[in-house]
Structures are given as structure tokens and as C-alpha cells.
Structure 1
Amino acid sequence: MDAVLFDMDGVLVDSEEYWVELEEEQVLPEAVGEGVVDDEEITGMNYREIHGYLEEHYGEHLDMGREEFEAYYEDAAEELYHEHAELLEGFEALADDLRDRGVRTAVVSSSPLDWIGIVVDRFGIDEHFDAVVSGNEIDGPSKPEPEVYEIGAAEVGVDPSECIAVEDSENGVEAANRAGMTSVGYRTEINQGMDLSTADHVADGPQELRGLLLELTS
């Protein structure tokens, strides 16, 4: 394998815990009512598309306009990425090892570019990536559609069949699979209930992820 593409939320940083809490306790109960939507349905999706998804599938319950809905996420992102999210344990050492092997690396996320920029700048990890692909670059729907990963492969100059995508969600794994990549499901304490069975490999925690990626790129 010649490239490793990292999802951001729930992989590169542990932000998924905070997004899940926000959605479970504030956004979804106010938007559609408590217990109507499972978190797994929307994890990995671009936040701007979630409102449309709720409108399509739960329109009879939806009681929040798009502007108010998106404002929840935009306000939360500033605090979350600046103050709470922590970098994947051992990421910089892993990135150095991958670079030593000639492996290309990228961030491939449905999140907006400015959110990714906060993370990259805060942790000073820009030098570890050959490309950053965000939801801003997608013409159509985000994950589980494969376009964001197809763009990622093109940006690093590697055929999708030679790319590994690291994902923590069902939508992300499906996007990677549909793009023709080797998918790695990343299991954490937060996504224990997530069905990652369609991933080619599953790694439980940062140490197992490191070992698997080094094995696949050896």
C-alpha cells in the first residue's frame, strides 16, 4: 500500500465523543425528539447534509430550521477543536514511520476545511500530510458516497487500490469501500456499538492501529 488516508473526527482526533454528546443531548432532541435517530446513522456525514437527511427520513418529526441546526455545529466546532479534542496517540511517530517508507498521507474528512485547519494548526501536524481533503471540495453528497476518497487518492497521486482509509464510522467505511480502497475500521471506546464489519480490517485502539498500518505498508 502506498498511501494512508485518515478521517479526522474519531480517528485523527477524539472529537467524536463531543459530537455524539452534542447530538444526543442537544441537537437531535430539539430537532426531531429524543430517541428518534440513532447516532450511527449520521456519524461521518457532513453536518450541512444531516439536516437534509433528517428532513428526508424523519420529516414528520423535524422541528428545527436549517440555519438554527447548522449554527449548533458551527458554534460547537470552535470550542471543540480549540480546547477539547486530542490528537491520536502516537500519531506523529506513526506519520514519521510511514514517511520513511515512502507512504503518502492525507486527511480526508467531510468536515469543512476551516475545522480541519484548526486541528492541523493547533497540533502543528501540517508537515505530516501530503494533502488535506475536506467537505468543501465535494460536488455531491459526502460519505457514504465515495467522492471525497476519490479526490483524496488523486491529491496524493496514488491509485485508490493502493490506498488505505482509516475510518471510525459505517458511513466512512462504506465510502472507502466504494472508492476501491482498503478500509480499516478504527475501534475506540466511543464507537463500540458501531458496525464496522464491512471494513477489510479493524484495529482496536492506537497501538493496534499503528501495528496494522505498518504491517499493511511494509
Structure 2
Amino acid sequence: MTDQPPVLFDMDGVIVDSETYWHAFEEETLFPETLAGDHPDLDEVTGMNYREIYDYLETNYEPTITKTEFIELYNETATKIYGEQVALMDGFDALTDTLRDRGAKLAIVSSAPKSWIETTVDRFSLGPFDLVLSAEDIDAPGKPEPHIYEHAASEIDADPADCIVVEDSENGVTSASRAGAYVVGYRTGPNAETDLSLADVVVNGPEELRAELLD
């Protein structure tokens, strides 16, 4: 067993390929049907908690529905995405098994509601994790603010600076970087053009991620 630092994984786009489905929903249904005028770039909202997405849109764009209606649309879509559509990222089970064997503490730290995370964990029989933390579990702003990663590190008795965070979104990378963690930007198809420049290192796909975390 080696002295392996804690590894904190975002869920969407890191553990499962859900960003593919969320992006399609937002571009093809959500934004056209709920916003008047301009639509945001996907990277503006990817990685944020959906309740805070509405607040962001209300400040910067022109929503045509209420926050309650907006949340209902997300929840209805999430049931299908996590319950039926998503697939586990290649090699994730093997990677976490190896990290556990090396004595690493592992966590899921996500903007998604706890119920969405639990659906994913149950469906793919993931775990055990030392912590599963949703943005809705903390009384503070979510990503891109640093609070969720600061809170996660505290929950596993670690300093954020001693943790490795794997994130695929600009908001997530910003959050982890502001918390002082070592940030691995995880690039796959859906985020090929996403600005991950605040990450300490950017890897392309599961093989590079495995090499980075285990080396």
C-alpha cells in the first residue's frame, strides 16, 4: 500500500457520460423552450447546480418559466438520463479498485442532487466511497465557488491542498482550483473545447486519467 492522496471525483462527465445527454437536452429543449432572446454557451452553466443555473439565467438572460417549472423539467429529464441512458466511463471501476487497494480515500463531489447521485451509484453498484457530497448538502454557493471542495476535504479529514480533484467542466475546475486542490482536468468528446486552463494538468480520456492518478 502506498501513500495515495485522497481523490475527489465529479460525477457528470467523469464517472458517467451524462454530459452528452444534458447538453442535448439544454440545447434542443430547455433553452429554446424556456428562454426569450439569447441562449448561454453550454460551458457557462455546465457543472453548476440546476437551481443555481436558473438563478444565473434569471440574472443574465430572459427565462419565460418559473424556477419551480424549471426544476421540474430537470428532474423529469434526470430520471431518464441516470436511470436509463448513461454509461459508466471506461475503466472507472478498475481505477477506483486500484486506488482503494493503495489506501486512497475516495469521494464523489457533485453539483447534482443526492437522488441523482444515488441512482447512478445504485445502478452501477459503485463504491464504497468515503464521502458522497451533493451541492445541496452544504449551505453555501456551489461550483464555481470553492465551498463544496473545501467542505468535502474537511469531511474526510484532509486539507484541500492534499487532495486530487477530477473535473470536466470550467465551473468545476474553477471551484477545485479556488479551494487549493490539485486539479486534473478530464477531457472527453463533449468538453473538447471547454476551457480547463485552471487545472494543474489536463488528461484526455480514461487511460491518461488512470496514468495520472496512479503515477
**Common fold, TM-score beyond 0.5?**
yes
Q: Extract structure 1 runs of 4+ deviating beyond 3 A.
A: none
Query: Cα distance, 1:36 vs. partner?
Result: 2.1
State the partner residue of 1:52. Answer: 55
Matched, 1:65 2:66: yes
SS at 1:126 equivalent: coil
Could you list the per-position Cα deviations for residues 49-105 of structure 1 after superposition, in whole angstroms to 9, with x for gaps in the alignment? 1111011111xx321211111111100111110111111211111111111211111
1:85, 1:204 → 2: CA distance? 20
The Cα RMSD (Å) is 1.2
Alignment of 1:15-26 (within 5 A): 15-26=18-29
Structure 1 portions without partners, runs of 5+ = none
- Matched residue pairs, number? 212
Q: Determine the C-alpha separation between the residues in 1 that align with 2:42 and 2:188.
A: 15
Pairs within 5 Å for 1:131-170: 131-170=131-170
**Cα deviation per residue 1:20-61 (whole Å; 9 max; x = unaligned)?**
000001111122247521000000000011111011111xx3
- Report the TM-score, using the length of structure 2 for normalisation: 0.95
Q: Identify the residue that residue 117 of structure 1 maps to in structure 2.
A: 118
User: Which residue in the other structure is 1:88 paired with?
Assistant: 89
Unaligned runs of 5+ in 2: none
Q: Following the alignment from structure 1 to structure 2, what is the Cα–Cα distance between the partners of residues 49 and 170?
A: 15
Distance in 2 between residues matched to 1:157 and 1:88, nearest whole Å: 28
What TM-score do the two structures reach when normalised by structure 1? 0.94
SS of residue in 1 equivalent to 2:165: strand
How far does the alpha carbon of each residue in 1:94-149 deviate from its partner, in whole angstroms, 9 at most, with x for none? Answer: 1111112111110000111111000000111132x111001221212110011111
Query: SS at 1:27's partner residue?
Result: helix
25-34 or 87-96, which deviates more:
25-34
1:122 maps to amino acid? R
